[in-house]
Chains A and B, each alone.
Chain A
Amino acid sequence: MAIEGAEIVKAAAFIGAGISMGLGAIGPGVGEGMVAAKACEAIGKNPKEAGLLTRTMLVGQAVSESTGIYSLVVALLLLFVV
């Protein structure tokens, strides 16, 4: 069975998409979890500011999410564009 160059490229793109999204999901998952844990701590200490703390948590998590979204974009590019 001879494997052609284009076939290898396609196979590499598929496995690369899996690795990109898989490994890329680790960091945001942990990071956002830490943010939320500290937000719980902060609300426990100062419940009156719950609204402000929720907002800060969500903004912080959104920034931390960005690398996960980059991974998703790269995975989708590898799947459908390259």
Chain B
Amino acid sequence: MALDVETIVSLAAYVGGGLAMGLGAIGAAIGEGYTAAQANMAVSRDPKNSGEIFKNMLVGQAVAESASIFALVIAILLLFLDVPAPTLLKAAALFGAGISMGFGAIGSGVGSGYPGGKACEGIARQPAVASQLTTNMLIGSAVCQTPAIFSMVVALMLMFINFGNAPLFPTWAAYLGAGISMGLAAIGSGYGGGLAAGASCEGIARQPRTAANVTTIMLVGQAVAQTPSIFGLLVSFILMFKSFPESTALSASMALLGAGICTGFGGIGPGLGNGMTAEGAVRWVARNVEHAGDLMRIMLVGQAVSQSTAIYAMVVSLVLIFVV
């Protein structure tokens, strides 16, 4: 049985679409479940404010949902995509697009659920600052969505940009690697950003007067936690836009695929670790605002050290792309 090129392109698009939505559904569902669970706890604690808590839960869940809506959009586009000139290279790009979006939605979905849940809990504790909590929740969970948005951008680029007549070997590996790099690197950053945002909602509910300091350190911590996903984006851009000389050698393809895997997996841990650090710093700025400066400094030092392995991973990827 011989498969023609058109069939292989459809195959890649359908499997990619399935992966995008299947993996993309994991995170948002868990995150929203956490939000709802905390909302139930909050209502049982303070039934008088159930209306406010309910509203906040729905708003928080709507933001957490966006990661999986991105995945749905990409999956539907992949299913109904009309490819004018099907090539094997396009098949690799479409499969990569599905992987990028599917994995990329996991972290942001789970992460966005934390601020939602903590804000519901906070409204029960401190109903007077309900609107401030909702605002802080929205800022925090919007930042958590960034890695999922990066993944969607990479997926759309892989689907719609015409990369010209690049040689099939080794460019197929570059496109697949671009998807893997972005998708996996987004997991840690999305989740980590959510931890920081959750701690800030909890902190504002405990100590409303520290709100400005808490929101500031949350944003700084989240920005640093975002870095591994930016490394993933950078490596996937290099893999998409650098032109590679034709080489049928297996090693040339594997070097590019390895570059994507390296930055992708390498971003998970530092993203998550940076988020944990930011969570600790935000929580303690709320409790001990007089020492916000010390806490900001130690947070940044700790995050920088935790970042180092993501940087090693990016260096190894760049060596794989440019040197060997």
- Measured CA separation A8–B320 after assembly (Å): 16
A22 x B265 contact (CB < 8 A) = yes
| Residue of B whose beta carbon sits closest to that of A47 | B291
- Measured CA separation A24–B290 after assembly (Å): 38
Question: Is B251 an interface residue when CB atoms closer than 8 A count as contact?
Answer: yes
- Measured CA separation A79–B316 after assembly (Å): 9
The A-contacting residues of B in range 136-150, CB under 8 angstroms, are none
Interface of A is mostly: helix
Contact of B277 among A40, A54, A68, A72 (CB under 8 A): A40
A18 x B258 contact (CB < 8 A) = yes
| Residue of B whose beta carbon sits closest to that of A73 | B312
Chain A residue total in the interface (Cβ 8 A): 55
A30 x B316 contact (CB < 8 A) = no
B302 x A36 contact (CB < 8 A) = yes
The A-contacting residues of B in range 282-305, CB under 8 angstroms, are 283-285, 287-288, 290-291, 294-295, 298-299, 301-303, 305
- Name the B residues within 8 Å of A18 (CB-CB): 257-262, 316-317, 320
Known contacts A10-B251, A14-B258, A79-B324; is-contact A40 B280 (Cβ 8 Å): yes
B250 x A37 contact (CB < 8 A) = no
Residues of A within 8 A of B (CB): 1, 3, 7-8, 10-19, 21-41, 43-45, 47, 50, 53-54, 57-58, 61-62, 65, 68-69, 71-72, 75-76, 79-80
- Name the B residues within 8 Å of A53 (CB-CB): 298
B295 x A7 contact (CB < 8 A) = no
B253 x A39 contact (CB < 8 A) = no
- Measured CA separation A55–B281 after assembly (Å): 17
Question: Is B272 an interface residue when CB atoms closer than 8 A count as contact?
Answer: yes
Can you list, as one digit per residue, whether each of B161-184 has a CB less than 8 Å from chain A (1) or not (0)? Answer: 000000000000000000000000
| Residue of A whose beta carbon sits closest to that of B279 | A37
B254 x A15 contact (CB < 8 A) = yes
- Name the A residues within 8 Å of B291 (CB-CB): 43-44, 47, 50
Contact of B281 among A16, A40, A80 (CB under 8 A): A40
- Measured CA separation A65–B309 after assembly (Å): 8
A21 x B284 contact (CB < 8 A) = no
- Name the B residues within 8 Å of A1 (CB-CB): 248
A54 x B301 contact (CB < 8 A) = yes
A25 x B301 contact (CB < 8 A) = no
Question: Is B61 an interface residue when CB atoms closer than 8 A count as contact?
Answer: no
A29 x B262 contact (CB < 8 A) = no
B250 x A7 contact (CB < 8 A) = yes
A68 x B308 contact (CB < 8 A) = yes
A76 x B281 contact (CB < 8 A) = no
A11 x B251 contact (CB < 8 A) = yes
Question: Is B264 an interface residue when CB atoms closer than 8 A count as contact?
Answer: yes
| Residue of A whose beta carbon sits closest to that of B274 | A33
- Name the B residues within 8 Å of A72 (CB-CB): 312, 315-316
B316 x A33 contact (CB < 8 A) = no
Contact of A23 among B260, B265, B271, B324 (CB under 8 A): B265
B310 x A17 contact (CB < 8 A) = no
The A-contacting residues of B in range 54-97, CB under 8 angstroms, are none
- Name the B residues within 8 Å of A26 (CB-CB): 265-266, 268-269, 309
B303 x A36 contact (CB < 8 A) = yes
Task: Output the least CB separation between B67 and chain A (Å).
Answer: 21
- Name the A residues within 8 Å of B279 (CB-CB): 37
Contact of B284 among A7, A43, A68 (CB under 8 A): A43
A68 x B302 contact (CB < 8 A) = no
